[in-house]
Chain A
Amino acid sequence: MYRSLQEAVRDADGQNKTLAQVALDAESRDQGRAIGEIRGALRRALEVMRGAIKQGLTGDLRSASGLVGGDAAKLHKDAVGPLAETPFRDILARALAVQEVNAAMGVIVAAPTAGGAGVLPAVLTGLAEARGLTDDQLVDALATAGLIGAVVAERASLSGAEGGCQAETGAAAAMAAGAATEMLGGTPTQVVNAVALAQQGTLGLVCDPLGGLVELPCVFRNATGAAIALAAIEMALAGITFAIPADEVIDTMGEIGREMDVRYRETAGGGLAATPTGRRLARERLVQIKTRDA
């Protein structure tokens, strides 16, 4: 699998292929699997994503702590904001939906992680529906997204504990931005610009979950992550280039993550988790694993 987006773009341009195609070729070579089989697995993932969106939009779910639930439905049904009639609002609702299902221990697709699982399905399915695109195009987009995520995993991190939320909703937004750009007809170069434009927007983003639960602010960071992805897509498709290449932006994310104090890396020791309200909610809602201290 590719370790740099620059290399992937070079191959795609050189072979006159999309990034999805070179990603599937690389995967097929690496894993000894037929491309049809890989696409089949991605198609199944797409179905689970759709299921989670549908389940979350009904609004029946609440997490065990009670901290999240019902907001996807609110945005879906009672939207009155200036963009209420647009795919933008619909995509935000889808992102919340998947995350509410996740928080309620429902079944989702980690893409790349469960904490960021709302961004990619929301952006891809929302835009595909708005534009009448096919499932095959969505499956290709998932392959493009997978390539981008693989490069982030290699060069930086996909774990909040190592990279903060830059590495989870941040990476998810970069994946969604790049994948959707290609799905909407963007060139490989436009795709990697979209990745850079998205990832730059989440540099420094901490992982500060209240009580350590993947609920607050996580659910809402998927919505804001989706919004950042959409900004990046719009700019990239207009031919805007970001001066720093995507690989370098990703490396920077990794560096910032490693330098981040441990209290901002999924330990619930800082950020929103450490606010007076955050601490109170954690105390009220959290049940500890029954342990003996060693």
Chain B
Amino acid sequence: MVSLLDIIGPVMVGPSSSHTAGACRLGLLARCLVGGTPERARIELHGSFARTGEGHGTDKAIVGGLMGFRPDDERLRTALEIAEREGLDYQFEKTKLGEDGVVHPNTARITIERGDRKSVMVGSSLGAGRVLVTEIDGYPVEVTGNYQTIVLVAEDIPGSVARIAGILAEHHLNIATLRLTRKERGGDAFMVIEIDDVPDENVRDEIRKLPWVKWAFRLEKVSA
């Protein structure tokens, strides 16, 4: 659902809502998957993102997002210098992630590492600052960043969804959407839960403590 504030907004550092602000939001979402600023980042750019990224500051924007800078943060202009100072080892590549008309022209695959945590996220910048994460660690997803989102990987066992939903209910968190996907039956299950309110870190920790949960992260709301 489109919000008025998606259209009149974001307030952002220019020049491009898709190649700068949207790129920044993709960086912010990727950062959540490793729990903080990554130590190493490999960013593969597809399509228009690759061809026209430099002039739009796409590189600065994604790296800035990985460091936690939001789209209106003026540090985006010097994000690459800041990254070098802070020890974020980044690398850009041009790639083809799929056919025109199938893969959005502004798509990036971001591989990030922090400590022993490594994650791969594929996301697109749809225009006007809106983004869509389409894959996390090989699982197909649809994360817009319009909500606080909890993502987790768990063993695919009966009752897992009920248990997770129960924890959220105990914390008075209202679920907006819940999606469960898995690569195969009895394999790992991947859950993406969009929530109306801000869950505190206890919620994520409780979910992580469940023995059949392999990992869980909170993705921030990156929209207005």
Interface of A toward B, CB cutoff 8 Å? 1, 23-24, 27, 30-32, 38, 41-42, 44-45, 48, 63, 65, 101-115, 117, 142-143, 145-147, 149-150, 153-154, 157-162, 167, 175, 209, 211-215, 262, 265-269, 286-294
Of the candidates A150, A167, A215, the one whose C-beta lies within 8 Å of that of B4 is A150
Interface of B toward A, CB cutoff 8 Å? 1-21, 44-45, 47-48, 50-59, 72, 74, 76-77, 91-95, 100, 104-106, 126-129, 196, 224
Of the candidates A1, A175, A292, the one whose C-beta lies within 8 Å of that of B93 is A292
- Find out whether the CB atom of A153 lies under 8 angstroms from the CB atom of B128: yes
Of the candidates B6, B13, B50, B100, the one whose C-beta lies within 8 Å of that of A107 is B13
- Find out whether the CB atom of A105 lies under 8 angstroms from the CB atom of B8: no
A209 to B16 CA separation, bound complex (whole angstroms): 12
Main secondary structure of the interface of B (DSSP, over half): mixed
B128 contacts across to A, CB distance below 8 A: 110, 112-113, 149, 153, 158-159
- Find out whether the CB atom of B2 lies under 8 angstroms from the CB atom of A150: yes
Central interface residue in A101, A109, A265, by most chain B CB within 10 Å:
A109
A41 to B9 CA separation, bound complex (whole angstroms): 9
Of the candidates A24, A108, A269, the one whose C-beta lies within 8 Å of that of B12 is A108
Can you sample 22 A-B contacts with CB below 8 Å? A1-B1, A38-B4, A42-B8, A105-B57, A105-B77, A107-B13, A108-B12, A110-B128, A113-B16, A114-B17, A115-B17, A143-B8, A146-B7, A153-B127, A158-B128, A162-B127, A215-B55, A262-B105, A265-B105, A291-B50, A292-B93, A294-B94
Q: What is the CB-to-nearest-CB distance from B51 to chain A, in angstroms, rounded to a whole number?
A: 5
- Find out whether the CB atom of B7 lies under 8 angstroms from the CB atom of A149: yes
B47 contacts across to A, CB distance below 8 A: 161, 267
- Find out whether the CB atom of B105 lies under 8 angstroms from the CB atom of A146: no
Of the candidates A30, A111, A269, the one whose C-beta lies within 8 Å of that of B9 is A111
A141 to B50 CA separation, bound complex (whole angstroms): 36
